[in-house]
């Protein structure tokens, strides 16, 4: 089977799922006193998230926007999920990078202090990413909006139409 451009949203959801499993397993590993396993799993989560971000940016730079319109009764719920996901996704990138950097440099106490915040936010972003995919493409399939915009990146900002 060949990977097509239209498959990227599903691939992105899969990468977010992999990141979520790695994050939860990595947390379990460190709580079980297995720091090497923890390190490998957290680096796996980082790689899955980096692959997701790359794929996401490629897709959204080239694809028409998909706007959640129907059912209208669910749209406010969807927009709250999308808004919190988007804000936290922007915040989580530097948090993840600093958390990982501290661990790799052996600054474990500083790593732990930040990881207590980073892990739940990273999990929220990963899980809501999959949920957004499910709502937009599976549960309530939406059609792509024809939006004229000078920049594909700017087109993504106007999600409240």
List, in order of start, the domains of the chain with CATH numbers.
Answer: 5-157 (1.20.120)
Find the range with the poorest average confidence among 13-17, 53-57, 62-66, 80-84. Answer: 62-66
Q: What is the b/e burial string over 86-125, where b = at least 16 CB atoms within 10 angstroms of the residue's CB?
A: bebbeebeebbeebbebbeeeeeeebeebbeebbeebbeb
pLDDT of 56: 94
Cα 135–137–142 angle (5° rounding)? Answer: 95
Quickly state the pLDDT bin for 156 (edges 50, 70, 90).
very low
pTM for the model stands at 0.85
User: Is the confidence at residue 126, as pLDDT, over 80?
Assistant: yes
**Mean pLDDT value across residues 84-95:** 98
Backbone angles phi, psi at 96, to 5 degrees: -60, -45
Q: What percentage of residues in the chain have a pLDDT greater than 70?
A: 88
């Amino acid at each position: 089977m060949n990977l097509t451009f239209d498959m990227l949203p599903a691939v992105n959801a899969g990468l977010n799922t992999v990141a979520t499993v790695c994050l939860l397993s990595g947390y379990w590993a460190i709580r079980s006193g297995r720091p090497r396993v923890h390190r490998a799993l957290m680096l796996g989560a980082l790689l899955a998230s980096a692959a997701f971000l790359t794929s996401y940016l490629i897709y959204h730079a080239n694809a028409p926007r998909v706007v959640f319109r129907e059912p209208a009764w669910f749209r406010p719920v969807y927009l709250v999920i999308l808004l919190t996901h988007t804000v936290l996704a922007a915040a989580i990138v530097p948090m993840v990078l600093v958390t990982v950097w501290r661990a790799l440099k052996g600054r474990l106490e500083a790593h732990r202090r930040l990881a207590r915040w980073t892990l739940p936010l990273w999990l929220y972003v990963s899980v809501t990413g999959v949920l957004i995919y499910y709502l937009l493409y599976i549960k309530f399939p939406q059609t792509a909006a024809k939006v004229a915009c000078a920049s594909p990146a700017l087109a993504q900002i106007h999600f409240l139409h």
